[in-house]
Amino acid sequence: MAIVTIVQTSLGKMRTGTFVAAALLAPVAGQAQSEAPTFETFSAPSLNFYGLPGVMDMPNADMLPDGQFALSYSLFAGQSRYNMTFQPFPWMTGTFRYNGIQDLNLFGYSTYYDRSFDLKFRLAKEGKYRPQLALGLQDFIGTGVYSGEYLVASKNFATPSLSAGRAKGNLKLSFGLGWGRLGTNGSIGKLGGTRPRFSGGTGGLVAYDSWFRGNFAPFAGVEWQADDRWTLKAEYSSDAYRTETRRSNVFDRKSQLNFGVEYKASERWRFGGYYMYGSEIGFSAQMQINPKHPALPKRVAAPVPIVPRSQWATDPAMWNQEWAASEKLRLTVRDQVKGEIAKENLVMTALDIDASATRAQLRVRNTTYRSPALALGRVARAMSRSLPASVETFGIVIESQGVGTSEFIVRRSDLEALENSPEGADGILSVATVRDVGPVSDTAMLTEELYPDFTRSIAPYTAPAYFDPNKPFRLDVGIEFKGTYLPAPGWKISGAVRHRLAGDVKNGRASNSVLPHVRTDQSRYAQYDTTLKNLYVTRQWKAGPNLYARGSFGYFESMFGGLSGELLWKPVNSRLAIGVEANYLKQRDYNQQFGFRNYDVWSGFVSAYYEAGQDYLVQLDVGRYLAGDIGATMTVTRTFDNGWELGGFFTLTDVSAADFGEGSFDKGLIVRVPLGWMLGKPSRNTNSTVIRPIQRDGGQRANTPDHLYRQVRDNHRRNIYQQRSGFWE
C-alpha cells in the first residue's frame, strides 16, 4: 500500500514518493482490443471546489469530455461555491460561479456574495511519458475575490486493482505554479511588479493587466482513484486565504495540506468529504451530464417499411394517370395520405398533385419529432404507401407556424431502392434536393379541419430571481393558464395568465440604476398575484425567395408590449442568415394588466447568424436596446443536433461602465435543454434558461415572440444532412 502512504505524507516526502511511484507504476497504455467496439462512453472526472477538474482548492490539468455540462457545490468554513461548468471545446473549460463567504464582514456585507468566471486551456495533451499541461484564469472578469492564474501539469499512472473483480485504480499526480490568489502561500518568486489588490469594486472588466503578475508559488496534488467508486485526494495548497483569514476572521488556517475522500454514487453523481487547512471539514456534491449522452436513448416506434411498387402495382392499369383529372379521386387520395401521415403523429396541412399525376407536394406540421430528417423519412414512407403508383416525385414541405421553411424533393424509386442499402442515409441525401419553397399553391388541396385551432394548458410555473446580495435565490411559484388560438395559417393569438401562490421575489432590492428602469424594477413587477403574462397577435409569412417575415402586436412579456416586425433572409443551403427587427415598445404597468407606464422606446437590430461548423453558432446583433442605448451583442452557442444548446453572450453599448453599474456590461449564459433528451422519446419541447450574473438596464432587449431564425434553420439543409441517419429510422 505504497500509495496510501504517499497520500498521507507531507509535501517534502511527497516529491520522493512521486518519484518512487513513477518508477513502480507503468504509465497508462491502450487496452488490448479483443472486445466489440464501443461508443465513446460517458465519463465524469472529479471536480475541485471551484467546479473545474482538480483536487480540492487546487486545479489539475484535466479537461472534461467535449460538450460536458456540470453543476457542483462545495462548502467549507462557511464558504460555499455553486459552479456551473461547460466544456465548449475539447481544449477549453469554462466555469461560472456564485459564491458566498459567511462572516467576511468586509465591503459592507456580513456574508459576502460574488460571481466569477474561470477559463482553463489545455496546452499539451498527455503522452506516454509527457504530462498534460494546462493554463487557467480564475475569476478573470468579476470583482476579483478569487482572481488568480496557474500553469499545471498532470500525469496518470495505472495502479493494480485492490482485489480480484474490482476495477483497476488510477493515480494522478499534479504539480503547478499559481499567481494571484494561488501565489499567496510559499511564494518562490515574483513577475512583473506588484499585483493590484482585491478591493471589492464594481468588477466586470477583464483584468488582463494583472494576469501572471506578482508573486508565484508552487502547489501539488495527488488523486488516487482506488476503484470505480472511491477516490482519495491530497493537496498542498498555494492559497493563503489572506482576505478571509487576515483581513477578516472567516476561519483558522493551520496547515496548507488538504485531504479528501470522494464517492462516485452513479455515473453522473459524486460526493466528497474533506479536511481542509488543518481545521475545517468540507463537503462537495457534483453532477455532470453530457448532451451527447442522453439520459435515456431515444426510442421511436419502428417505421412501416416501404413496399416497392414493383410488388403491388403489377397491373399496368394501376399506373394510369387519369385519376388526377377527377376532383373526387384527388380528394380520396388526399384523405388517404392524410390518414397515413396522422399515423406518424404528424399533421398534413396541404397536398398538391400536378395534372400529370406524377408529382406531389405535401405540406406538413411537425408536432412530434425534433429531428427534421426523421420527420421527412416518416412522411416519405407514408406517401409511398398511400399515393397511387403514377406519382414519382415527392416534395415535402415542413411548416413552422403555417409557413413553409424548405422543400425536400426525393424520387419515389430512390426511396424504394435505398431503404435497405448499407449506405442508405448518405445515399438518400445525395439524390434528394432541399430547396426554398413559396406559399401554398392555388391548386393544393388543404386539410380543412385545421383552422381555427385552439390549444390550452394549465401548468405550474416558477419564476426565480438570482443573486440579490441579501438573498441570493428567490422564487415565485404559481399556476399558469395558457391558450393559443390559430385562426388561419400563419396567424396566431396567444396569451398566458399567471396566478402566484407563494414567493418572495417581491422582497427583492429596489433598483439603484441611473438608466431608465427597463429591467431592474423586477421586485415592483412582483407585487401582484394575478398577472397577464402576455397576450399578442402574431403573423408569419414568406415575403419572397429565401425571405421570411413576422409582424407582432400586443403584450409581449411582463414588462413590455407594443409592435414588432422582423425580416429574415436565409437560403436553405447557406451558413449565413441576416435578420432585421424593428420594435416600438412601451413599458407595461407594474400590475401587468392592460395599462402602460410613461416610457416608450424604438428598439431595433440588424442580426447576422453564422453556422461556424462543428456545431458552433455565432450571432451578432447591432442596434438600439431598451434603455435607448446603442451597441452590439455577440452570442456564441454550441448547438447539439438533439436540441441542446449551451452558449454565452455579452453586450457592449454606449452606456459607460459607471452608468451601467455593477458588472460594467451585460453578459450571461444560455442553456437550452430538450425534453426528448430526458424522456427518451420524441418531443419538440425545449426549456431555455438565460442566467445573468447581474441584471441591469443596459444592453437589454424585449422578449418579442416567435423569432424566425431557429424556426427556419431547423428544417434547412445543414440540419437535415447532419441528422441524415434519422431519415430511415
433-492: contacts with other proteins (CB under 8 A): 455, 457, 459-464, 473, 475, 477, 482, 484, 492
**Judged by CB under 8 A, does residue 729 bind other proteins?**
yes
**Judged by CB under 8 A, does residue 103 bind other proteins?**
no
Task: State the minimum distance, in angstroms, from the CB of residue 671 to other proteins.
Answer: 7
- What span, in angstroms and rounded, lies between the C-alpha atoms of 524 and 416? 63
**Judged by CB under 8 A, does residue 291 bind other proteins?**
yes
Q: If binding means CB under 8 A, how many residues of this protein chain bind other proteins?
A: 80
69/150 with CB nearer other proteins = 69
417/657 with CB nearer other proteins = 417
DSSP 12-77: HHHHHHHHHHHHHSPBP-PPP--SPP-PPPP----B-TTSSBBSSSSB-S--PPTT-EEEEEEEET
- What span, in angstroms and rounded, lies between the C-alpha atoms of 121 and 92? 5
**Hey, which residues does 475 pair with through a beta bridge?**
464
Task: State the minimum distance, in angstroms, from the CB of residue 615 to other proteins.
Answer: 8
Q: Count Cα atoms within 13 angstroms, Cβ side, for 139.
A: 22
650/721 with CB nearer other proteins = 721
- What span, in angstroms and rounded, lies between the C-alpha atoms of 43 and 58? 21
x-marked contacts with other proteins along 299-328 as a string, rule CB under 8 A:
xxxxxxx-xx--x-----------------
C-beta neighbour count of 219 within 10 angstroms: 26
Touching other proteins, residues 573-612 (CB under 8 A): none
Show Cβ contacts of residue 725 under 8 Å, excluding neighbours closer than 6 positions.
373, 425
Helical residues (DSSP H) of 344-459, grouped into ranges: 372-386, 412-418, 424-431
Task: State the minimum distance, in angstroms, from the CB of residue 440 to other proteins.
Answer: 18
Phi and psi at residue 678, to the nearest 5°: -85, -35
**Judged by CB under 8 A, does residue 199 bind other proteins?**
no
Task: State the minimum distance, in angstroms, from the CB of residue 497 to other proteins.
Answer: 14
135/535 with CB nearer other proteins = 535
x-marked contacts with other proteins along 399-418 as a string, rule CB under 8 A:
--x--------------xx-
Touching other proteins, residues 6-65 (CB under 8 A): 33-39
What SS3 state is found at 527?
A: coil
Contact stretch for other proteins (CB under 8 A) within 122-130, 230-238, 514-522, 674-682:
674-682
Cell of 325: 383529372
Task: State the minimum distance, in angstroms, from the CB of residue 285 to other proteins.
Answer: 13
307/652 with CB nearer other proteins = 307
Touching other proteins, residues 707-726 (CB under 8 A): 710, 722-726
Cell of 451: 383552422
Task: State the minimum distance, in angstroms, from the CB of residue 516 to other proteins.
Answer: 22
Cβ proximity of 494 and 535 under 8 Å:
yes
Task: State the minimum distance, in angstroms, from the CB of residue 34 to other proteins.
Answer: 6
Which residue matches cell numbers 496548507?
A: 256
**Judged by CB under 8 A, does residue 296 bind other proteins?**
yes
Helix pair 327-343, 372-386: axis angle to 10 deg: 140
Burial tier of 189 (Cβ tally within 10 Å: 0-12, 13-18, 19+): exposed
Cell of 692: 445573468
**Judged by CB under 8 A, does residue 689 bind other proteins?**
yes
**Judged by CB under 8 A, does residue 424 bind other proteins?**
yes
Task: State the minimum distance, in angstroms, from the CB of residue 311 to other proteins.
Answer: 6
Cβ proximity of 609 and 618 under 8 Å:
yes
What SS3 state is found at 516?
A: coil
369/569 with CB nearer other proteins = 369
Task: State the minimum distance, in angstroms, from the CB of residue 633 to other proteins.
Answer: 17
Per CB under 8 A, the list member of 114, 340, 414, 419 interacting with other proteins is 419
Closest CA to 563 of 601, 597, 589: 601
- What span, in angstroms and rounded, lies between the C-alpha atoms of 602 and 351? 42
Per CB under 8 A, the list member of 641, 650, 657, 709 interacting with other proteins is 641
Task: State the minimum distance, in angstroms, from the CB of residue 198 to other proteins.
Answer: 30
- What span, in angstroms and rounded, lies between the C-alpha atoms of 173 and 154? 5
37/108 with CB nearer other proteins = 37
Q: Count Cα atoms within 13 angstroms, Cβ side, for 399.
A: 23
471/684 with CB nearer other proteins = 684
23/36 with CB nearer other proteins = 36
Per CB under 8 A, the list member of 107, 481, 599, 640 interacting with other proteins is 640
**Judged by CB under 8 A, does residue 675 bind other proteins?**
yes
Task: State the minimum distance, in angstroms, from the CB of residue 537 to other proteins.
Answer: 13
- What span, in angstroms and rounded, lies between the C-alpha atoms of 517 and 513? 7
Contact stretch for other proteins (CB under 8 A) within 170-178, 333-341, 389-397, 680-688:
680-688
Q: Which long-range contacts (CB under 8 A, 24 or more apart) does 691-695 make?
A: 691/84, 691/96, 691/466, 692/466, 692/666, 692/667, 692/668, 693/96, 693/98, 693/115, 693/142, 693/467, 693/663, 693/667, 693/668, 694/115, 694/467, 694/662, 694/663, 695/519, 695/520, 695/522
Q: In which element (H, E) is residue 703 found?
A: none
Task: State the minimum distance, in angstroms, from the CB of residue 299 to other proteins.
Answer: 5
- What span, in angstroms and rounded, lies between the C-alpha atoms of 687 and 400? 18
- What span, in angstroms and rounded, lies between the C-alpha atoms of 19 and 712? 59
**Judged by CB under 8 A, does residue 613 bind other proteins?**
no
**Hey, which residues does 359 pair with through a beta bridge?**
393
553/584 with CB nearer other proteins = 553
Touching other proteins, residues 336-395 (CB under 8 A): 365, 367-368, 370-371
Closest CA to 615 of 589, 646, 584, 590: 646
Classify each residue of 508-534 as buried b or exposed e, where b means 16 or more C-beta atoms within 10 Å of its C-beta.
Answer: beebebebbbbbbbbbebbebeebbbb
Per CB under 8 A, the list member of 94, 294, 395, 661 interacting with other proteins is 294
Task: State the minimum distance, in angstroms, from the CB of residue 449 to other proteins.
Answer: 14
Contact stretch for other proteins (CB under 8 A) within 171-179, 181-189, 217-225, 681-689:
681-689
x-marked contacts with other proteins along 512-551 as a string, rule CB under 8 A:
----------------------------------------
Pairing relationship of beta strands 576-588 and 132-138 according to DSSP bridges: unpaired
Task: State the minimum distance, in angstroms, from the CB of residue 602 to other proteins.
Answer: 25
Task: State the minimum distance, in angstroms, from the CB of residue 654 to other proteins.
Answer: 26
* No. of helices (H) and no. of strands (E), the chain: 13, 32
260/705 with CB nearer other proteins = 705
330/381 with CB nearer other proteins = 381
574/725 with CB nearer other proteins = 725
116/695 with CB nearer other proteins = 695
Per CB under 8 A, the list member of 155, 550, 672, 716 interacting with other proteins is 672
Closest CA to 102 of 472, 416, 650, 615: 472
Task: State the minimum distance, in angstroms, from the CB of residue 558 to other proteins.
Answer: 10
Task: State the minimum distance, in angstroms, from the CB of residue 422 to other proteins.
Answer: 4
Touching other proteins, residues 112-141 (CB under 8 A): none
Task: State the minimum distance, in angstroms, from the CB of residue 685 to other proteins.
Answer: 4
